[in-house]
């Protein structure tokens, strides 16, 4: 029955806890909304499911006979999209189309992991219930439910998160997504933690841009700027000074969006004769991923380009504040990490450079499931 396990579902992982790496998940009280609030939100969403009649279409598992699937994905956070869409790799042998917000559609080209890549913003978008055997929704939340009901009213569907409140940072979203897909497929994945990795498809840009920019094979990418103040590192100039004093011939590639313009200009003005390529706010996401792919190592604070680097298998040195590295990386990643309890700016430039030197020598940290 659809409501059989509703009680407490907003605070419960949407799969059986059979892996030891989940033992430390969902333990931070500051990440948890009041239970009363989550209960009220979930009741409202439950009533919406019934009001739309979608309870009759809900499936607890992806039907074995479902060969053509639409993945309806609604978020504009690059990192979250990469982590939540990564288990498409477990759907090999089925035809999967992606219907998503604009940013997520920039991560994938048609004909790769997804047969089609469609934008929710397309006003001319029309879908046929006869084309799909199943729809995957992010969660049993208002926006995905309404979108599914509008576009494919009669098609059966599953949900990645059901009523689980996934907007929190005290668990590993990539591993959670993989474990949930394993559950939805009702199959065992050999070494799930070791298999889980991010992917993207933007290979048209990969073949051209790095050559045009003349990026060296040992280039170091530095991601400047960010969206949230406590994760915006303000000491990149000092890091660059230390790096170039030790490695004067090192090529640096500056990456980031428009809020990185000012600190990037400061670095370029300070070192006008060094090998520094300015890619700040110059390329779309696919071309930025191509640049990241070409770099030997990317140094960054926790953010979207950390996950882009993971998706193209470029190793990283990452600065974390409050969040734990084990909740962002998986065992397949090559990384070194630094963490502050409050703000990345408490991390000294000298410490960043030490980690960069270790990474450039091929020394990587071991992923630990317990934080």
164 and 236 both lie in a single domain: no
Q: For 312-362, what is each residue's pLDDT tens digit?
A: 999 999 999 999 999 999 999 999 999 999 999 999 999 999 999 999 999
- Domain membership of residue 370 (yes or no) is no
Tell which wins on pLDDT, 368 or 13.
Answer: 13
Burial status of residue 190 (CB atoms within 10 A of its CB: 0-12, 13-18, 19 or more)? exposed
Query: Could you tell me the pLDDT band of residue 258, with boundaries at 50, 70 and 90?
Result: confident
| Total domains in the fold of the chain | 2
Show which of 168, 195, 222 is a domain's final residue: 195
CA–CA separation, 221 vs 264, rounded Å? 12
CA–CA separation, 215 vs 209, rounded Å? 9
Range of the domain at 115: 9-195
265 and 219 both lie in a single domain: yes
- Domain membership of residue 337 (yes or no) is yes
CA–CA separation, 367 vs 55, rounded Å? 40
Show which of 175, 195, 215 is a domain's final residue: 195
- Domain membership of residue 365 (yes or no) is no
249 and 171 both lie in a single domain: no
Q: In what order do the strands lie in the sheet with 316-321?
A: 276-278, 252-255, 220-223, 297-301, 316-321, 335-340
| pLDDT for residue 344 | 96
Residue 1 has pLDDT above 60, yes or no: no
- Domain membership of residue 45 (yes or no) is yes
Q: For 21-76, what is each residue's pLDDT tens digit?
A: 999 999 999 999 999 999 999 999 999 999 999 999 999 999 999 999 999 999 88
Show which of 195, 216, 246 is a domain's final residue: 195
- In order of 152, 197, 278, 287, 311, the CA distances from 257 in angstroms are 36, 25, 11, 13, 19
CA angle (336, 356, 267) in 5-degree steps: 130
27 and 174 both lie in a single domain: yes
- Domain membership of residue 366 (yes or no) is no
- Domain membership of residue 253 (yes or no) is yes
20 and 134 both lie in a single domain: yes
- Domain membership of residue 34 (yes or no) is yes
19 and 108 both lie in a single domain: yes
Name residue, tokens 């670095």: 267
- Domain membership of residue 182 (yes or no) is yes
């Amino acid at each position: 029955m659809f409501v059989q396990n509703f009680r407490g579902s907003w605070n419960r992982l949407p799969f059986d806890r059979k892996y030891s790496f989940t033992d430390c998940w969902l333990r931070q009280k500051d990440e948890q909304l009041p239970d009363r609030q989550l209960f009220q939100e979930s009741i409202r969403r439950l009533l919406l499911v019934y009001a739309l009649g979608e309870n009759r279409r809900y499936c607890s598992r992806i039907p074995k006979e479902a060969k053509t699937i639409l993945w309806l994905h609604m978020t504009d956070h690059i990192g979250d999209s990469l982590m939540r869409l990564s288990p498409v790799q477990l759907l090999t042998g089925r035809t999967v189309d992606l219907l998503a917000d604009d940013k997520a559609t920039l991560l994938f080209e048609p004909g790769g992991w997804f047969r089609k890549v469609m934008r929710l913003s397309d006003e001319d978008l029309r879908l046929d219930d006869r084309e799909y055997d199943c729809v995957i929704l992010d969660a049993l939340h208002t926006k995905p439910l309404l979108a599914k009901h509008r576009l494919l009213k009669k098609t059966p569907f599953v949900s990645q998160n059901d009523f689980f409140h996934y907007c929190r940072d005290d668990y590993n979203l990539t591993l959670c997504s993989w474990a949930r897909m394993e559950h939805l497929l009702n199959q065992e994945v050999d070494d799930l933690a070791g298999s889980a990795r991010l992917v993207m498809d933007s290979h048209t840009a990969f073949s051209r841009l790095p050559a045009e920019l003349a990026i060296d094979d040992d280039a170091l990418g530095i991601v400047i700027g960010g969206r949230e103040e406590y994760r915006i590192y303000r000491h990149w100039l000092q890091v660059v000074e230390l790096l170039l004093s030790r490695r004067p011939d090192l090529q640096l590639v500056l990456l980031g969006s428009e809020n990185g313009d000012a600190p990037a200009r400061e670095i370029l003005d300070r070192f006008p004769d060094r090998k520094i390529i300015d890619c700040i706010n110059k390329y779309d996401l696919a071309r930025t991923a191509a640049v990241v792919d070409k770099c030997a190592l990317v140094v960054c604070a926790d953010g979207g380009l950390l996950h882009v680097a993971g998706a193209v298998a470029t190793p990283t040195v990452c600065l974390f504040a409050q969040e734990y590295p084990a909740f962002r990386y998986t065992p397949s990643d090559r990384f070194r990490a630094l963490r502050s309890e409050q703000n990345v700016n408490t991390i000294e430039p000298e410490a960043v450079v030490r980690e960069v030197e270790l990474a450039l020598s091929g020394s990587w940290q071991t992923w630990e499931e317990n934080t």
